Amino acid sequence: MPELPEVETVRVTLENEIRNEIIVGLDLYYSKIIKNELEWFIYSITNQKIHRIDRMGKYLIFILDAYAMIIHLRMEGKFYIKTDEPIDKHEHVVFHFKSGRNLRYHDVRKFGTITLLNINTYLDEYPLIQLGREPKNLDFHHFFEMIKNKKTTIKQVLLDQHIVAGLGNIYVDETLFLSQIHPTRIASSITIKEAEIIIESARQVLEKAIELGGTTIRSYTSSLGVHGRFQNELNVHMKKGEPCPVCKTEIIKIKVGGRGTYVCPKCQH
Ligand SMILES: [Zn+2]
């Protein structure tokens, strides 16, 4: 699944490719990806120019003339830019550009979403309104206030996009390793000092991952053939049985809230 750094790589790559393209038509092969009324969506998006692409958490935001198109890639969503090649069976939405090129939304699992909203109000509407802040914009005092009464694990809290935006499974494991905090700790037991360490670690992990273009892991590669290099920097995630880079204790894999979780049992208390 693409996480924040991978989505950022997609954003930068796509923006370079399709900035200033004008959408002149649309083909829909699996319309449930579109979260608006379909006739309205097609009518509204036609003749809109793509001015830039923003990102909030794991959402891509295409800034058009009168609308913002909000896209979540979920598990397997990808974009391809093509011209007249035949349609692949996993290409569900094709945006035709005035230039003759087209942008294709490809999604094997079909969990992705595309939502068109008014440019003046999209930040105050679902889905962006319910999104927490990214670690780089999140004050640790505010984070501490949000979690101090939570009776779930710190891992589950960090995965909750209403609290912190943009941390997924890989980056939560890495953040908690750097913080030397065990993922099964109950959030209400986290001290303010630990909250500060967690937010600082999350910033470091995400900054490094963005710099390296994200992590290429299992089935996910970002669009346009871009592969991340952060997998070379992982300390614990996917490292079951390997020695901890700090203390050489064997990394173990456990389940936390149903998610595969990698831990150094000695470094993380
Ligand atoms: Zn260790």
Catalytic residue among 11, 55, 58, 104: 58
> Residue 50's pLDDT band (boundaries 50, 70, 90)?
very high
> Which pLDDT does position 230 carry in this prediction?
85
Ligand 1 centre to CA of 264 (Å) is: 5
Q: Is 109 one of the catalytic residues?
A: no
pLDDT of 200 > 80? The answer is yes
Q: How many CA atoms lie within 13 A of 154 on its CB side?
A: 29
Q: Is 3 one of the catalytic residues?
A: yes
Residues of the chain with CATH 3.20.190.10: 4-130
Q: What's the mean per-residue pLDDT of the chain? A: 93
Which amino acid, residue 185? R
> Residue 227's pLDDT band (boundaries 50, 70, 90)?
low
26 beta partners: 95
pTM for this one?
0.87
> Residue 231's pLDDT band (boundaries 50, 70, 90)?
confident
Ligand 1 centre to CA of 174 (Å) is: 12
pLDDT higher at 177 or 78:
177
Percent of the chain whose predicted confidence (pLDDT) is above 70: 96
Ligand 1 centre to CA of 236 (Å) is: 9
Does domain 135-230 bear CATH number 2.60.40.10?
no
Residues in CB range of 145: below 8 A, 6 or more apart? none
CATH topology of domain 4-130: N-terminal domain of MutM-like DNA repair proteins (3.20.190)
Q: Is 2 one of the catalytic residues?
A: yes
Inter-residue contact 95 to 17 (CB < 8 Å):
no
Residues of the chain with CATH 1.10.8.50: 135-230
Find how far residue 161's CA is from the centre of its chain: 10
Q: Is 259 one of the catalytic residues?
A: yes
Q: What's the mean pLDDT in 230-255? A: 95
